Amino acid sequence: MKDLTKGHVGGNILRFAAPMLVGNIFQQSYNIVDSIIVGQVLGKEALAAVGASFPIIFALISFVIGIASGGTIVVSQYFGAKDYKRVRRAIDTMYIFVFFASIIIMTVGITFSDEIFRMTRLPSEVIPQATVYLNTFLLGTVLLFGFNGTSAILRGLGDSITPLVFMIIASISNIGFDILFVKYLGFGIRGAAWATILSHGGAFITAVFYLNKTHKLIQLKLRELVFDWEIFWKSVRIGIPSGFQQTFVSFGMIALFRIVNAFGTDVVAAYSVAGRIDSFAMLPAMTFGQALSTFVGQNMGANKAERVRSGFLTTLGMSSFISITITAVIIIFRFSLMNLFTKDTNVIDIGVDYLIIVSSSYIVFTTMFSINGVLRGSGDTIVPMFITLFSLWIIRIPFAYFLSEHYGEVGIWWAVPIAWLIGALFSFFYYLTGNWKKKVIVKYYEENIDSTL
């Protein structure tokens, strides 16, 4: 655990964010290796099937992710206020919630998977493999939520090292299982999904045993779990805007994929590959934004709002420098990056167009994510929700549809930076108002202090 309310602001954020970034890199690395193996061994149809599955997966889990993020903010603010009894209660409540939610998600997803893919106009030759991959992947929903929930709780407590260790374990094992199941045992696309289930499940079970023996606040003992309705509703109050945001964002991603799907398998495969590279490239901005949320949550909970502005500017500077560097690397090596996933020249050319257009605007995405990190860390999740939904549904999707009618798939790519720019401008103007400072739900008082761990 790390107390972010004391010490050098920039050093605290960097030391806290660095392990998270490394962990996220490992996570995205096995996703990228997964796509490389699928694309090179099974072909572009399988590659398109995996890519088409992720917006559906995100749609199924997005609302729960939003509520859970509210729980993480509650944990970080109670921890900043030194109220350790309620920290434990918040953790128990979050575990119980995500367990039952994961059962519902798995059931709904497997039941309607085929209908969902047909609704998105996925090319018919891709649907059978996409359905197999999605149904298999969803069998591990409980383990996936358990692993990611534990990691999120630890980060809310200021511990970014322990999640890193278990993410490395999951990443390495996932790559190993991928190679074994897909390349050598011939399990096909189902093997790629099983690789993810086994790697996350193994890491989660290992984490539970380790934390039960070593951690003072996180001990997952089923018979001792307590569900606290008061804390749950606090988490819902903070998390439900993010939940709705994540849900509508996921539906937006499906709507965008529906536009992409109309252009055929090559464009779907190129979009899937470029999206993988895109996700990897945006990790620094997203990770520093997450770290900033925890930093802001702890400092606002401790009544140290004066540290927040300094934390924001420092985070923005660090993540912007990294994003500019990544943009240069992607533009220089764009053909080589696409070639890792497929040898199909048409797919490569389409993906290169995407990378040039979108990577040039990473600095805008970084700014938007840093500002939203401040807002969410303070407990103000409603305004970021509306800004995100506006930039997606009112700007990106209509622009993607309109521009694609006139310029083909390239028009879809141009809609991305346009939406980011408008979202960043709205977020910045709201940040300047200072209204987000009034949204803190936990205040530091001497009588809150519970120093027993």
Q: Taking each helix axis as running N to C, give the angle between helix 189-214 and helix 9-37, from 0 to 180 degrees, rounded to the nearest 10.
A: 150
Question: What does the pLDDT read at residue 297?
Answer: 82
pLDDT in tens, the chain (453 residues): 567 778 888 888 998 888 878 877 887 887 788 889 999 999 999 999 998 998 899 888 888 877 877 777 787 777 777 777 777 888 888 888 888 999 999 999 999 999 999 999 899 999 999 999 999 999 999 998 888 888 877 777 777 788 888 888 888 899 899 999 998 999 999 999 999 999 989 988 888 887 777 776 666 676 777 888 888 888 888 778 777 777 888 889 899 999 999 999 999 999 999 988 998 899 999 999 988 988 888 888 777 878 888 999 999 999 999 999 999 999 999 999 999 999 999 999 999 999 999 999 999 999 999 999 998 888 787 888 888 889 999 999 999 999 999 999 999 999 999 999 999 999 999 999 888 877 665 554 444 445 444
- Counting the structural domains of the chain, the total is 1
Calpha distance 140→201 (Å, rounded): 8
Question: Residue 219: inside a domain, yes or no?
Answer: yes
**Which are the contacts of 60, defined by CB distance < 8 A and separation ≥ 6?**
105, 108, 109, 138, 250
CA distance 407 to 428: 31
Domain-embedded: residue 2: no
As a whole number of angstroms, the distance between CA 383 and CA 396 comes to 18
- Could you give the C-alpha distances from 271 to 44, 352, 355, in angstroms and in order? 11, 10, 10
What pLDDT, on a 0 to 100 scale, did the predictor assign at position 137? 94
CB 275 within 8 Å of CB 255: no
Q: Give 77-140 as a DSSP string.
A: HHHHTTBHHHHHHHHHHHHHHHHHHHHHHHHHHHHHHHHHHHHTT--TTTHHHHHHHHHHHHTT
15 burial level (CB within 10 Å; 0-12, 13-18, 19+): middle
In-domain check, residue 240: yes
Q: Cβ neighbours of residue 246 under 8 Å, at least 6 residues apart?
A: 58, 62, 63, 65, 66
**What confidence score (pLDDT) does residue 439 get?**
65
Q: State how far the Cα of 163 lies from the Cα of 207, in Å rounded to an integer.
A: 9
The most distant pair of C-alpha atoms in the chain lies apart, rounded to whole Å, by 66
Q: Is residue 452 assigned to a domain?
A: no
Angle at CA 154, nearest 5°, toward 452 and 8? Answer: 85
Residue 4 lies in a domain: no
Q: What are phi and psi of 83, to 5 degrees?
A: -95, 80
CB atoms within 10 A of CB 119: 12
* Rounded Cα gap, residues 233 and 89, in angstroms: 13
The answer to whether 278 touches 54, Cβ cutoff 8 Å, is: no
> Which pLDDT score is estimated for 442?
56
Question: Could you count the other beta carbons within 10 Å of the beta carbon of residue 448?
Answer: 17
Q: CA–CA separation, 57 vs 53, rounded Å?
A: 6
The answer to whether residue 382 is domain-embedded is yes
Residue 426 lies in a domain: yes
Of the candidates 109, 116, 99, the residue with the CA atom closest to the CA atom of residue 60? 109
Instruction: State how far the Cα of 289 lies from the Cα of 13, in Å rounded to an integer.
Output: 10
Q: What angle do CA 286, 292, 294 make, to 5 degrees?
A: 110
Q: Kindly report whether the global pTM for this prediction surpasses the value 0.85.
A: no
* 428 domain-assigned: yes
What is the per-residue pLDDT for 453?
43
Range of the domain at 312: 9-443
